């Protein structure tokens, strides 16, 4: 295992891309092992991603948590927007179906990821997977996505030798492209695009990645609390 991490760490591109790709690939299998399997697969992909990120931390020096007021304001602001515009635009699956780019059922019903339904209301297993989901979304996903989209992809679109591009450099094309791609990763695509714009803007403003990681973590943590307290399981 160490040799795998060493090889990945020796490549600036692979170190930033592979954890994200592995996480997304495992997500593709998440619904293929029955209802309960969805939750165990979330645990698996989160653990694998966390292991990769920990093992590659020295190869990605910009991957640091950097608290700041800008990060807090961006994180809370994105959360408010995410929840506030819900219902005002079609989810990604419905949009693709309307555009003729997707047939059949646009996706599982909004209540599809609800541990209380799967494991019993208030059960230990239900709360265990809720904690795992919030922890994964708040501690692992921000690192994965910010490193891939903001550290690698944004700069790669500016120049193939992406390490030569400062994190704070602003260029319109990658700014918009990475934000749109980030948004299309999510069922709530419009909120996702606005979210991508906010986080990328934070990186360009602060000229470092850590503020965006913290902002992303705050957004996901608040969204997790909202989901659980309001029963808004469609966000998961």
Chain-wide mean pLDDT for the chain? 92
* Distance from C-alpha of 54 to C-alpha of 210, rounded to nearest angstrom: 16
Look at 34 and 130; give whichever has higher pLDDT. Answer: 130
Distant-in-sequence, close-in-space partners of 111: CB < 8 Å, separation ≥ 6:
117, 233, 234
Structure confidence by residue, pLDDT tens digits, 38-78:
899 999 999 999 999 999 999 999 999 999 999 999 999 99
What's the pLDDT score for residue 112? 66
What's the pLDDT score for residue 107? 46
Choice among 112-121, 141-150, 224-233 with the minimum mean pLDDT: 112-121
* Mean pLDDT in residue range 123-141: 96
With contact defined as beta carbons under 8 Å apart, do 59 and 12 qualify? Answer: yes
With contact defined as beta carbons under 8 Å apart, do 27 and 44 qualify? Answer: no
Own/partner pairs, 176-179, CB within 8 angstroms, 24+ separation? 178/149, 178/150, 178/153, 178/154
């Amino acid at each position: 295992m160490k040799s795998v991490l060493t090889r990945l760490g020796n490549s600036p591109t692979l170190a930033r891309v592979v954890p994200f790709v592995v996480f997304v690939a495992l997500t593709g299998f998440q619904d293929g092992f029955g209802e309960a399997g969805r939750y165990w697969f979330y645990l698996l992909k989160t653990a694998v991603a966390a292991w990769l990120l920990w093992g590659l931390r020295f190869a990605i020096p910009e991957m640091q948590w950097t608290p700041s007021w800008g990060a807090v304001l961006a994180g809370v602001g994105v959360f408010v927007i995410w929840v506030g515009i819900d219902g005002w635009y079609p989810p990604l699956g419905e949009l693709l179906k309307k555009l003729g780019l997707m047939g059949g059922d646009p996706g599982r019903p909004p209540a599809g990821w609800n541990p209380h339904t799967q494991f019993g209301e208030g059960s230990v297993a239900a709360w265990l997977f809720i904690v795992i989901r919030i922890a994964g979304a708040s501690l692992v996903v921000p690192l994965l996505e910010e490193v891939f989209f903001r550290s690698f992809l944004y700069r790669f679109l500016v120049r193939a030798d992406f390490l030569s591009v400062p994190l704070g450099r602003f260029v319109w094309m990658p700014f918009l492209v990475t934000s749109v791609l980030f948004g299309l990763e999510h069922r709530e695509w419009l909120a996702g695009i606005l979210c991508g714009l906010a986080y990328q803007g934070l990186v360009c403003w602060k000229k470092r990645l850590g503020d965006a990681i913290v902002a992303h973590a705050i957004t996901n943590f608040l969204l997790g609390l909202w989901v659980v307290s309001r029963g808004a399981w469609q966000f998961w």
